[in-house]
Amino acid sequence: MTVQIGIIGCGVMGADHCRLLHGEIFGAKLVAVQDSDRPRAALVAASAGDVRIHDFAHDLIADRDIDAVVIASPDHTHAALATACVEAGKPVLCEKPLAATIEECQAVMTMEMTGGRRLVQVGYMRRFDPGYRAMKRSLDDQQFGRPLFLHCVHRNAVAPHYITSDLVIANSSVHEIDIARFLLDEEFAAVTVISARSSRHAAMRQPQFIVLESASGVIVTVEAFLDAQYGYDVQAELVCEDGTVSLAPNPPVSRRHAHREGFEIDGDWRARFADAYRDQLKEWVASIEDGRPVGSSAWDGYAASATAAAALEALAAGGKTATNLGERPAFYAG
């Protein structure tokens, strides 16, 4: 069986999903794309062989040849489109965040629960990264006892021009919130945000330092620094009662030259998380066939956004803020 897929949104992320679906993902066939900028859609369609172009996202969702949908359009459109997919009974891989507001996240969950079937996967691709997965296995196997700390570092070489202090948290650190929840398998009770002095390269108040306290007392720290200049660098060290596990995402060769020995550092996230993006699509396609959801659920998407919202409050207030996600519906258990 081949899963026929349509992509909504043909920007950087949409184009990359297109490249993967048309060349890397066994069992998938990209059949249509849509973008509000039609020439952009045409360009992406041309790169993928004989792919239809829809003028409107809702036409693509309604297309009978399409079994499943990837949403890579602007953030504010996610909730409505994901909801439409759910209404149409079609599995959807929605780029993060699930929605622009907490209420919209909740609306997507409500619709999905009404339908009675898990159809939404949120594109927190790190859950498919081999490093985080090895970390997760060491927790599941209790190799080193219970976790006590997870130290995260999220550094970009150069911040996007549109970045704000809020987006450092809402757009970047939200990845750390999701992966920490994935690893620890619990929610956060409180969050503290402390701003460092600004780098001379930064256009706004950043970097930030975030301390999340899980319900059981695990401390998750996040350094979020989007103008680190030297490269793209995502670190994580899991500290357990008897040992530690750290990401070690080195490139395949080291070099010695000009009185230096070492590794190249990527310029952006694409090489660093290439395996994660590919395996996310691969396992999503497989999950459509076998009916067992993988990756971040709508609840996970809601929880990440709600926790980030609490962090934004803490940033504004300059102190510690309690989070309150409410009870997780049984529908999203396991």
Which residues ranging from 7 to 66 are in contact with a copy of itself (CB under 8 A)? Answer: 22-28
Q: How far is the CB of 321 from a copy of itself (least distance, A)?
A: 13
Footprint of a copy of itself on 66-95 (CB under 8 A): none
Decide: residue 43, CB within 10 A, 0-12 exposed, 13-18 middle, 19+ buried: middle
Residues 133-162 that bind a copy of itself (CB under 8 A): 133-135, 138, 143-146, 148-149, 151, 157
| Residues in the chain, total | 334
Using the rule CB under 8 A, give the single segment among 6-14, 132-140, 160-168, 309-317 that binds a copy of itself: 132-140
Task: For residue 243, give both structure tokens.
Answer: 């040992």
Cα torsion through 175, 179, 184, 189, rounded to 10: 10
Kindly state whether residue 225 participates in binding a copy of itself, applying the rule CB under 8 A: yes
Distance from C-alpha of 155 to C-alpha of 228, rounded to nearest angstrom: 6
- Tell me which residue has tokens 């006892």: 145
171 contacts a copy of itself (rule: CB under 8 A): no
189 binds a copy of itself (CB under 8 A): no
The least CB distance from residue 3 to a copy of itself, in Å, is: 12
Stretch that binds a copy of itself, among 98-106, 255-263, 307-315, 326-334 (CB under 8 A): 255-263
What is the Cβ-side half-sphere exposure of residue 17, based on CA atoms within 13 angstroms?
Answer: 31
Q: Which residues pair with 53 in a beta bridge?
A: 33
Distance CA 277, CA 237 (A): 22
Nearest distance from C-beta of residue 7 to a copy of itself, angstroms: 16
4 contributes a contact to a copy of itself by CB under 8 A? no
| Of the residues 264, 289, 292, 316, which one makes contact with a copy of itself according to CB under 8 A | 264
